[in-house]
Structure 1
Amino acid sequence: MPVRFQGLRRCAVPASTALAVVACALATALPAAAQNYPVTPTQRAVAQATAESGVPESELTPNAPDIYTVKRGDTLWAVSGLYLRKPWRWPELWGMNLAEIRNPHLIYPGQQLYLERSGGRARLRTSPPGYGDAGTVRMEPRTRIDRVGENPLPTLRPSAIEPFLAEPLVIDAPTLGGAPRLVGTQEDRVMLARGDRAYARGPSGQPMAVVPGQSRNWRVFRDAVPLRDPSTGEILGFEAQYLGRAELVRGETVENSLRDGKELQEVVPATVDITATKEEMRVGDRLLPEPPTPTTVYVPRAPTVALNGARVASIYGSAVLDAAQNQVVTINRGTRDGIEPGFVMAILSEGDRIIDKTDPQRARIKLPDERNGLLMVFRSFDRVSYGLILSIRTGVKVGDRLVSPE
């Protein structure tokens, strides 16, 4: 088994501070990269205020466990929901163990969480209540051995959103129209699959070229579908259908040739090899440079901006009318509206329109909109964002309203 040997610096910590021994160990032992997850000033301020007194017991779930051992496969959302009625109130969960877990993104499988209740308030610790109350706990230098690659808990299950971090692409019409395109295949093949070779051209005046130091990887798209605001009908952007990836082998060139006694210049398209396919490709499909893999850390929280007019704009990759739990939807708000990854929104299903049979006039009335579930934004573009449905009662429809979960 691969192991890592790492010395700990000496730390002296008063036990009266709810035993920050674990915090000291984390701060000195964890890789620097793991300690750089973002924590906003607002989240830190809320957590610090909560850490002083804990949270009211009324905010706990009815079955909040007194002791819980973090398991492989857990998520921060699930652990938060285990203790709090409102899982998006993540800073409160962090606040309950602020003295012991300085970085809330670093909760590892195998850690034990202890729920302490006192005076109608609750706090969450990583050591048993009362441990170390006798005085100062001192940690001496020692060797720590653990498995390489043991990662802290993710906010959400990676398998639920990883495919969507690369596949959905919202672009504007000029960008798509100016993207390089597949123009030919070997042996006049109609469809292309992995391992096939094809030829591509860039837009006028921008030939595809191999540039030293730049990635040769491209993504292939087709049929950009307009995303419309369900309220106004306005086009918010175009969602391109992801087909797969291609590698640029040779750049586009111009060759001089002699034909019928005349010297001509002929365009020789770039050569690309298809390296991965989700669906078969064909002449006319567009290519866009493959972006770097995103490393966003999702911190569930209530939106800090007004959601006036926010609605579900489309259901991604689905031929059905209703979206279910763990499906992805687009919403008609993006970065220009202040929408950020991690925002949790409540989904409201529109109330039915019925005839009031108790009214002699048979008036037509609309029942109230009802809260149906929660979604969390995980990717934002200028005017559109993608959200994962976290919980749901009935199917989510295009046009459903989105509001703050508070």
Structure 2
Amino acid sequence: MGISRFLKVTPLIISFILYFNHSNIALSGGVEKEYKIEKGDTLWDISGEHLKNPFLWPNIWEKNQYIKNPDLIYPGNRLILPVIIPSIPVSRPDRIEEIEAPLAPAEATIPVAVPEEPAVPETPPATEAAEIPEPPEIPASLYPPSHEPSPIEDKPAPEIVRRTAIDEELIYAGGYIVKDIISSGVITGSPEGRNIFAAGDNVSLSLNKKENGISVGDKLTVFKTPEYVIHPKTRKKIGKLFIPLGVIEIYRVQGRDAAGRVITTYTNLSVGDHIQPYSPAPSVTETARTVPGLHGYIIDSRDGNVLISDQNIVYLDKGAYDGVTPGTAFFVVGDKPDNIIGEIKVISIQAYTSTAIVTKSVEPFSIGSKIVTSIK
């Protein structure tokens, strides 16, 4: 009886020890939490704060499959946070003791063989975090400048490491300033009676004209009701802000009534949003041209942010005619000329304006902040 009990109990102890030393992180079966995205949030930051490890951001992305691009998350949208908890580490004893039940009198004289102690390997080195691949490099639109800048001897701008890359989807979703915007119609609702829509939802549309050239299979861009951009310094109208919200594919057209399916969203769509024929963002190589001595201002932001910080999209009063190209970097200047509080990078351009993303911010800044390409 003693030997048989020993042989039954000992493997259980060894299995128990090896199981808890196998991994330091485990998914919990607990209740998942919901998080509302705030201005300036990134999946990296959210993972670091709520999962206590920024390298677990892909777990959040996997849980929220409506997010097509992890660099494109917007304030107000909600995330499901997976519940990830550290498992309880169990220290391995130096020696595995025999566990026996009391011997019966008849068994007391039977010699019990003590098995050799199994070789227990040294504590394995911590598993390295899986390497997260970098996003693809940025393709962006390129327009030839109207003039070559005259050489100016300036102090080279200090190199600032960029945290993320930029892709075509960000270029398109970033929007731009144009002289005027033509609307082909509006979203009026859905067969289910909903007012807010995401990818996969069906929507009802009201077209502006019966003979508008829109047919089944066409793709339409959904965009916000355009508003005029007023220059924060001169108070002049610069143009209208065109901000794409998503893409719809038409599956029914009947006179001025139509229906479509949402195939892409950059943020939630809603009743009253406008539509127009879809045109993909041009795809050419980024040149990151430097224009010494150029200065201007941030004249608006994509999400209407009062305070602007990392990864926000902003609009500038400098464009192709000023020598700006996709990839041109500007420094954001604070109260003093040598007080650099951030850096922005141009992702698309128009004739007199451009769209940029904040790649670094030492402190939040605002619409009307001054920008320069070099520091004297």
The normalised TM-score by structure 1 is: 0.47
Structure richer in strand, relative to its length? 1
Quick one: higher RCO (CA 8 Å, sep 6+), 1 or 2? 2
Structure showing greater Rg: 2
